[in-house]
Amino acid sequence: MTTKITDIEVFILRGPKDKRPHWVSNFTVPTANEVLLRVRTSDGVEGFGLATSYTDAMPILNVFRSGITERLIGANPLAPERIYQDLFSLTSKRLAHEKGWSREALVRVSAAVDVACWDIIGKMSGIPLYQLFGGYRDKVPYYVTCAYYRDGKDLAELRDEITELKEQGHTGFKAKVGGMELAEDINRLEVVRDVIGDERDLMVDVNRAWDLETATQAAEALIPLKPAMVGGTCALGG
């Protein structure tokens, strides 16, 4: 008997509005909406999928309310690529226009469903997904993005933030820059490096704020701070 999707529940998770919003060099970071799916199968297995949206979540919810669920019921969750292709292909079809399904909403829906299907595959096989994907790694390097700008945030608050993250055990730090004059940003990065020490990785995320002249000056100013090197190149985010 072929495994089939029998039911889908949709939840929209919203974070509280931040009284002191975080911002990067050129925009305020919007509050994220998380689309959480619970997909049940004919075998009684549940898979959970999650997708993040920084826009209004209602268009995503409306996709489920107006027919996409019926398209998924009966599908085989053990064939996630087939399901993903079917959903993503709707972005260029007349049906999506008639239903009012935006490309943005369909991309988020297809991502959440894909994650849920792979969760089901892992549970039914009893094998961790990293092993199903080849088993080459059982650990994945990561970093924490930090040093966002906030109204009234001074170097003391920045130091407290980085200290807390360090105490949580993070070993890689990607700090936001580009929202102040270069000299001020270098001062902020000096605080980050001072707190995390030389043994932890420091990366820099400019968010497209620097022109060529500023980036050239920054490259020289960053040398004493020893930014992380990736493939022989300084880890300097655009």
Give the position of tokens 């004919």.
Answer: 42
Q: Is the pTM of this model over 0.85?
A: no
Considering the four listed CATH numbers 3.40.50.300, 1.10.3720.10, 3.30.390.10, 3.50.50.100, the one that applies to the domain covering 5-132 is: 3.30.390.10
Q: What percent of the chain has pLDDT over 70?
A: 95
Residue 80: both structure tokens together: 């996630």
List every span in the chain annotated with CATH 3.20.20.120.
144-237
pLDDT at 232 over 80: no
pLDDT tens-digit series, residues 50-87: 998 888 888 898 999 999 999 999 999 999 999 999 99
Q: Is there a contact between 118 and 164 (Cβ–Cβ < 8 Å)?
A: no
pLDDT at 236 over 80: no
pLDDT tens-digit series, residues 182-218: 999 999 999 999 999 999 999 999 999 999 999 999 9
**Mean of per-residue pLDDT scores for the chain:** 92
Q: Is there a contact between 97 and 106 (Cβ–Cβ < 8 Å)?
A: no
pLDDT at 49 over 90: yes
pLDDT at 90 over 90: yes
pLDDT at 238 over 80: no
List every span in the chain annotated with CATH 3.30.390.10.
5-132
For residues 189 and 228, the model is more confident at 189
Q: Is there a contact between 61 and 79 (Cβ–Cβ < 8 Å)?
A: no
Report, as an integer, the average pLDDT of 133-137: 88
Check residue 163 and give its pLDDT: 98
- Provide DSSP, 55-68: S-SHHHHHHIIIII
Written as one letter, the residue type at 146 is C
Considering the four listed CATH numbers 3.40.50.300, 3.20.20.120, 3.60.20.10, 3.40.50.920, the one that applies to the domain covering 144-237 is: 3.20.20.120
